[in-house]
Chain A
């Protein structure tokens, strides 16, 4: 049975829809309201507050902390200066992905890692020879994301720190309304936003401070359903949907590599040994079989499929992650799979995240994707498009 997060007292009273889900053993709100459109628009035009406490959080301390994580991660963590965050992933010996997440270098000897799945045991395997301590902080630290164009203005109301100096992917310890917190310019929405990490005891005062400072800036609590739309618009993948932890896979087919997932940019190959290095070097030399792409579905063809039944186009509310086949242009051969997708109210297109054979991954390539209308399986054209699909200027400025 899922347990409450440190914000539960507040989220429960706001969750008028009573729609909850289990996120890593915690109760998490799917949507506060019914319907939840206002949550989506708050996120994109004002700001949304999302309880992300269920993320797994590990603190790595000691003189070898960065070296230790470099041994695990595809990215060279030793290169990262204090006060910075990075997004990266980590693999098994065969270069198959285990999980992805963010690493914060709080200072030289102290780092935090945030993961989608429990990783204590995985990380511990690499401890031998490193002077580090590894602590699971998951149950001790609460976290909220405040995301959207007005998020910075809201935080300014409750801190004296110059937030303009907190650039994209930076972290800082600050006082928010006199509460000591760690704040990172990170998020899962592809917009301007922050994640705030706080001791459990200060969770509710923090929530209250944010909500009251946020009111004039139209801040709304936002559930996971809307977050799922936003992350697809941002082209961000999800463990368990776009990829599966190799350690849980029964067969090779279910595993994937960072290169296949478009995460090549997080792989630093030329350095001290790290887990999966040899396999990843070989893959880089030989080329990858699959590539991660964004797809935009052809509107006219969707419309035509509905018109066959005398129907106007039906819009699915919210994101799907049921997974559908992707075919080559003439539909004669399956060349990949779309793992999740959504109608994007802001881009005004039906979008999908997909894994396709590499030679079909060029932007502009037209493929076919399965599309069901009135219980009939059909296909429509889908063009490989650059990601993120939605990429506002204010994300990084």
Chain B
């Protein structure tokens, strides 16, 4: 909190009266990145964030005294390294500590620990499948190759398929050239990725369910799809293309929680002169002669601006802040077809000791990384089945991290925070989404019960529990239907189709209104890319 107040002021403490070159609606990390680039280019920028803290879905908060939770997102990988350089973010406190391990406990008392020591990992996998053990490094190599191929795509605006301008064709050709340059094996892999389900794709490599199960979950994170749904293979790649210091696929903890990334972006924006305000909910985007000309903040304050850049999702922007009556019917139809249908929740625990896994007792490197409760494909499919009929999974997929084992700033000495990402928790409960508050603690119990099957003493160690449902994501962060990525990251909603085909290039049908959040290319995750690309495109256009 105190850190936030040094960077941003509450809106009411001193209401801005001047007019701005650009107002950024939403102080999530993308809004802040966008503001930083614009301010760096000399623009007069105002960021308006509705909450009392910055960061949106990448925020840290001391929910229980002494314990700082990464309330929503919890690990960092996708954040673009060149943004760190261009905005000098290390100077502003950007610090990411890589995770050491992936640990998968199984219900039969077995477990698998994959870590940075390749030989140890090979021996570990070989306990279940000697072939898989040998194939695993080849799979990693293929994915690294894919990630470096795709990196170019996420680091530039999506090719615009509707405008057949020379530059666009060149861009597609550029991609084609890169595709040609891929080794033959690489082309094959890419084609499979674009068409298959996560499980089918992984089965091309691996035979053991103990590997395929936990690996396939990257294909469903944030989607209302199952690991066997077509198209989920590509989503795998979205989670593999992150890098830390050149190591693709590595994820890390942001010091002080994922809010640390947002605060670093905010400090950079401040250093370039941007004005950042919290507790400033934008109610309306002002249109003058059909063009965006400013915003109205809750309380009725109007602020003028030459450009408005929305960092919130398309639904909130167009239906809440603009109004369908100002939009072309076809555009409205397309916006309505854009899928949100959130399916994930978060449980954060403050505990007085480390969890003790029955299948791998005591402390060790296995607790310092990613702990995945996804013991097999069938388990995941069952979890999805529950969701299809409007229930949260009786036994959900859990992705667990204990950042306090690596970052001493997030919990008192000897105590820990446990962050649990949960899927499926569908926004659309069969009783209706508004029933979520009544079901919140039941979901919390299910999650703790699931974990307790692997570490029975977990229940006694809990000092505080926070449950964040999709409903809460919508209410608190403005994520429509609680979708963690401001819109599902499925193949048909990526690149030139995000959020609406023809409008993937940060501009909107409303003149002077731009978009820079996760709902535009290249999409969700703590990545900074939508914010950066929007700012760069805008600067180029003016």
Contact = CB atoms under 8 A, between A and B. Distances in A.
Contacts of A218: 405-406, 408
Interface stretch (B90-98, B371-379, B518-526): B90-98
Contacts of B100: 37-38
A210 to B, nearest CB: 15
A315 B246 contact: yes
Contact of A37 (B90, B98, B151): B98
Contacts of B116: 34-35, 37
Interface stretch (A332-340, A345-353, A378-386): A345-353
Nearest to A35: B116
A45 B407 contact: yes
A150, A215, A348 interface centre (most CB from chain B within 10 Å): A348
B405 A41 contact: no
B367 to A, nearest CB: 12
Interface in B368-408: 368, 405-408
A313 B85 contact: no
Given A218-B408, A312-B246, A45 B95 contact: yes
B263 to A, nearest CB: 16
Contacts of A90: none
A242 B337 CA distance: 64
Contacts of B248: 312
A129 interface: no
Interface string A202-219: 000000000000011110
Interface in A283-340: 299, 310, 312-315
Interface in A31-48: 33-35, 37-38, 41, 45-46
B413 A216 contact: yes
Interface residues of B, number: 29
A312 B148 contact: yes
Nearest to B94: A348
What size tier do the contact residues of chain A reach?
20 to 34
Interface string A12-35: 000000000000000000000111
A102 B399 CA distance: 49
A44 to B, nearest CB: 8
Nearest to A345: B245
Given A34-B117, A35-B117, A45-B97, A347 B246 contact: no
Nearest to A215: B414
A46 B408 contact: yes
A225 B413 CA distance: 28
B247 interface: yes
A216 B247 CA distance: 29
Contacts of A34: 116-117, 120
A7 interface: no
A33 B248 CA distance: 21
Interface of A is mostly: loop
A313 B409 CA distance: 32
A45 B406 contact: yes
B64 to A, nearest CB: 18
A10 interface: no
A383 to B, nearest CB: 13
B169 interface: no
Interface in B88-109: 90, 95, 97-98, 100
A91 B262 CA distance: 50
B456 interface: no
Given A38-B100, A216-B413, A216-B414, A315 B81 contact: no
B153 to A, nearest CB: 14
Nearest to B414: A216
B247 A348 contact: no
Contact of A313 (B246, B255, B406): B246
A347 B90 contact: yes
Contact of A45 (B81, B408, B413): B408
A230 to B, nearest CB: 15
Contacts of B97: 41, 45
Contacts of B442: none
A295 B495 CA distance: 39
A41, A310, A346 interface centre (most CB from chain B within 10 Å): A41
A57 B414 CA distance: 36
Interface in B197-253: 245-248
A104 interface: no
Contacts of B414: 215-216
B151 to A, nearest CB: 8
A41 B406 contact: yes
Contacts of A217: 408, 413
A343 interface: yes
Contacts of A359: none
Interface string A144-185: 000001100100000000000000000000000000000000
A343 B245 contact: yes
Contacts of A38: 100, 365, 368, 406
A348 B90 contact: yes
Contacts of B126: none
B181 interface: yes
Contacts of A215: 414
A315 B250 CA distance: 14
A310 B408 contact: no
Nearest to B183: A310
A33 B181 CA distance: 38
B84 interface: yes
B95 A346 contact: yes
Contacts of A315: 245-247
Contacts of B408: 45-46, 149-150, 217-218
Nearest to B244: A345
Contacts of A346: 90, 95
Contacts of A313: 246
B84, B245, B368 interface centre (most CB from chain A within 10 Å): B245
Contacts of B144: 312
Interface string B399-434: 000000111110001100000000000000000000
Contacts of B245: 315, 343, 345, 348
A35 B115 CA distance: 9
A310 B97 CA distance: 28
A313 B82 CA distance: 13
B85, B368, B409, B413 interface centre (most CB from chain A within 10 Å): B413
Nearest to A149: B408
B86 to A, nearest CB: 10
Contacts of A41: 97-98, 406
Contacts of A45: 95, 97, 255, 406-409
A310 B148 CA distance: 9
Nearest to B252: A41
Nearest to A17: B117
A62 to B, nearest CB: 45
B504 to A, nearest CB: 26
Nearest to A390: B90
B158 to A, nearest CB: 21
A177 B144 CA distance: 50
Given A41-B97, A347-B90, 11 more contacts: A35-B117, A38-B100, A45-B255, A46-B406, A218-B405, A218-B406, A299-B85, A313-B246, A315-B245, A348-B84, A348-B90
6 contacts: A45-B255, A45-B409, A46-B408, A312-B151, A312-B246, A314-B246
Top 9 A-B pairs ranked by shortest CB distance?
Answer: A216-B413, A216-B414, A315-B246, A35-B116, A312-B148, A41-B97, A34-B117, A46-B408, A218-B408
Interface of A: 33-35, 37-38, 41, 45-46, 149-150, 153, 215-218, 299, 310, 312-315, 343, 345-348
